[in-house]
Amino acid sequence: MKNKTVIITGAASGIGKATAALFAKQGANVVLSDIQEAEGTAVAKEISASGGKASFFKTDVSKPEEMEALVNFAVKTYGKLDIAVNNAGIGGEINPTADMSIEGWQQVISINLNSLFYGMKYQIQAMLKNGSGSIVNISSILGSVGFGGSAGYSAAKHGIIGLTQTAAIEYSAQNIRINAVGPGFIETPLLSALDAETKKMLVALHPIGRLGKSEEVAELILWLSSDKSSFVTGSYYPVDGGYLAR
């Protein structure tokens, strides 16, 4: 990772924050992106204070022009773009399909799916100039199965896998690898609003007997981004404590 430049969206907390810290520790130039400016700036400062290279760029991932600006910032700041981790997302409205609001559906699709297309569109263009690159898209276990009350979220995460596979086929010959990661339920701020009983129910869905940690997902993202996975593209890797094996 030394001197590789990486963009990580949703880097102010959770999986994104853990991934940013890990990449910086490995010597990468990390461009952190999030809509939460204060939190994202604080993470960048933490990384810099510990000897890493990090910059923050505020981005609303649901806006294509802001995703383009993010890529331009990374290239202008560090000279190139080698890796992108499209991680930003929301849980979205929880309701049965027929009761889900139109606004709720549009919001989760915009942030969790459209943003990945916008990101890849401009990330790939920058990587083609280098002659290589790696993109890791963060899907979910709900990218391959359903979950009651999460129609929009599940649809978006399923869509990420199809988008990942398609782009991987299109650009593999140009030395750009594109893969997806499917985390199970991870201890992140997305779950902070849940009560103890709900968390207990979620734990029971994972045969390993606990929820995942952001750092565990970050390790898989690092591997997929590195040359150690040079023959891996168009793949979907769950990291889920056995959730999908049930």
Report pLDDT for 33: 98
pLDDT along the chain (246 residues), means of 10: 96 97 98 97 96 97 98 98 97 96 98 98 97 98 95 98 98 98 90 84 94 97 97 98 95
- Catalytic residues, by residue number, are 153
Report pLDDT for 190: 72
Q: Which domain holds residue 157?
A: 5-245
Radius of gyration for the alpha carbons in the chain, expressed in angstroms and rounded: 17
Report pLDDT for 189: 77
What is the rounded distance in angstroms from the CA atom of residue 11 to the CA atom of residue 36? 9
Report pLDDT for 153: 97
CATH number of the domain at 105, please. 3.40.50.720
Report pLDDT for 191: 79
Report pLDDT for 188: 83
Report pLDDT for 96: 97
Burial label for 156, CB within 10 Å (0-12, 13-18, 19+), is buried
Report pLDDT for 193: 74
Burial label for 62, CB within 10 Å (0-12, 13-18, 19+), is buried
Tally of domains in the chain: 1
What is the rounded distance in angstroms from the CA atom of residue 7 to the CA atom of residue 56? 10
